Amino acid sequence: MILDNHPFELNSKGHLEIGGVDSINLANKYGTPLYVYDVSIIRENCRSFVDTFKDLGVSAQVAYASKAFSSTAMLQVVKQEGLSLDVVSQGELYTAIQADFPPSKIHMHGNNKSVEELSMAIEYGIGCIVVDNFFEIDLISKLLKKYNKTIDVLIRVTPGIESKTHQYIMTGNEDSKFGFNLHNGQADKAFLQLYNNENIHFKGLHCHIGSQIFEADGFKMATTMLFKKIGEWNKLHDYTPEVLNLGGGFGIRYTKEDTPLPYSSVVKELVAKVKEHASMFDMTIPEIWIEPGRAIAGNAGLTLYTVGSKKDIPGVRSYVSVDGGMTDNLRPALYQAKYEGVLANKAAQPVTDLVSVAGKCCESGDMLIWDLPVPEIGSNDILAVFSTGAYGYSMASHYNRFPNAAVVFVENGQDKLVVRRESFHDVVKNDLSYE
């Protein structure tokens, strides 16, 4: 049963229920396609990280990587749960400010931060900039002089570990657009520039090894690599980092093939590894920061679509088309991401058919799910696609001039619209006439 893989239930009508509300009522009330989040699951996800660090008694910051899903309401929930926040652009920072997120808990990432972005970050006095390259060190130094301010920074390094779908490989010379190479002297050079800069407070190291990581091995390997470098800097410059940021990438369940360990177990293992290394190098344990994105928002959200046309190709397959597609969920087209779904209005009925779910964009690649088992399916059925809470809305586009879908939050049996559906007026609002 597909629902076994996802944190939702059926109600007495046999309809899919979200946060105590009938999904069919939501589809009728707000229209489709519709992103729906169960806010209690967002909170649960936040707490599974925050509480584990608390229980272990280690200082930590859990920063939500807001690129996964950023909206004012989402950031308000994350703020209520006491998380910090990662942003990578002025738009994401602006959203955080709209949500009244404490600037001191905001961290800025990016491999090409502009003068405008850095200026905005410095003016708001955000908590930390994660420095990515030499060009940026120059820019930050100049801006800090101009503003006569100081700022905390971490240095982003590439430890040369790649997670190739759950097997980790070491590459001595990692090929990445992000961060300073740990092995070829670049990280050392950057360290000296930052460490000796009077306007910069050099707080520690950051790395991010990948996404959809299901267990602790990769994080532990990264910890070992980072401490090797920290040990060198400690010996040469008497440097002890205040912060070790191990990035995000904690995996979620899209389909039954995905089997992430509970976040509490992963966090416990990585904390143990950090403690082990700190004591090995005779250092105080640094504050541990992590940056989950998908793991906070992903399984809390689903998308409701209305089924339209059906095309049977005898002996080949049956296509059913829905009223959304790659414009609201780019991941299948972008990297063959797999999803599961149910007919929300027939979720209790026995499965009889096998269909492939197509989006309505003019792209053959616009397929949402291949070979989905469903009950007898027809137009006006409501299809729910699970685990679309991360990198769905945030990657939405206006291809084919589809207005962006609405977002609804549900909690304790109450539903609330938190992002309006775009109108056709919105679609043309930036167009200027040429006659």
Ligand X SMILES: *Cc1c(COP(=O)(O)O)cnc(C)c1O
Q: Which of 6, 107, 113, 208 binds ligand X (CB under 6 A)?
A: 208
Catalytic residue status for 128: no
* Residue 331 marked ligand-binding: yes
When asked if residue 249 is in the footprint of ligand X (CB under 6 A), the reply is: yes
| Shortest Cβ 196–ligand X spacing (Å) | 25
* Residue 292 marked ligand-binding: yes
Q: How far apart are CA 232 and CA 188, in angstroms?
A: 9
First to last CA, the chain: 58
| Shortest Cβ 327–ligand X spacing (Å) | 21
| Shortest Cβ 276–ligand X spacing (Å) | 24
Q: How far apart are CA 384 and CA 37, in angstroms?
A: 12
Smaller CB distance to ligand X: residue 23 or 89? Answer: 89
Smaller CB distance to ligand X: residue 337 or 361? Answer: 337
Smaller CB distance to ligand X: residue 391 or 402? Answer: 391
**Binders of ligand X in range 82-121 (CB under 6 A):** 86, 109
| Shortest Cβ 44–ligand X spacing (Å) | 16
* Residue 162 marked ligand-binding: no
Catalytic-labelled residue, pool 46, 207, 361, 362: 362
* Residue 420 marked ligand-binding: no
* Residue 251 marked ligand-binding: no
| Shortest Cβ 138–ligand X spacing (Å) | 21
* Residue 363 marked ligand-binding: yes
**Binders of ligand X in range 395-424 (CB under 6 A):** none
When asked if residue 155 is in the footprint of ligand X (CB under 6 A), the reply is: no
Smaller CB distance to ligand X: residue 179 or 324? Answer: 179
When asked if residue 360 is in the footprint of ligand X (CB under 6 A), the reply is: no
**Binders of ligand X in range 283-302 (CB under 6 A):** 291-295
When asked if residue 65 is in the footprint of ligand X (CB under 6 A), the reply is: yes
CA dihedral (218, 224, 227, 231) in degrees, to 10, reads -160
* Residue 294 marked ligand-binding: yes
When asked if residue 248 is in the footprint of ligand X (CB under 6 A), the reply is: yes
| Shortest Cβ 117–ligand X spacing (Å) | 15
Q: Which of 33, 127, 241, 247 binds ligand X (CB under 6 A)?
A: 247
Residue positions annotated with a catalytic role: 362
Residue ranges of the annotated binding site for pyridoxal 5'-phosphate are: 249, 291-294, 391
Binding-site ranges for ligand X (CB under 6 A): 65, 67-68, 86, 109, 208, 211, 247-250, 291-295, 390
Q: Which residues line the annotated binding site? A: 249, 291-294, 331, 335, 363, 391
